[in-house]
Amino acid sequence: MSKKLTANEIAEKVELGARRIRKMIADGEIQAKKFGRDWVIDAKYVEIIRNRPERRGRKPSKKAA
């Protein structure tokens, strides 16, 4: 059985905000289960999040493109 972490614990380990982790869950980038009021996430996602390409800023608007 693999280790499970909360969204806040994952956020701390990968140096992102907990809100960003919850957004990644909502977008389907991370699989998680709701346990009470917390999201429980498999610890394997720590490395997956750390190794993903960095994206910063907003997407360009359609007018700018």
What is the spatial order of strands in the sheet that 38-42 belongs to? 4-6, 38-42, 32-35
Q: What dihedral angle (degrees, nearest 10) is formed by the CA atoms of 34, 53, 55, 46?
A: 30
Whether pTM exceeds 0.95:
no
- H-only helix segments in 1-65: 7-14, 18-26, 45-50
CA-based torsion, 33, 24, 50, 31: positive or negative: positive
Output the tens digit of pLDDT for each of the chain's 65 residues: 579 999 999 999 998 899 999 999 999 999 999 999 999 999 998 988 888 877 676 777 777 55
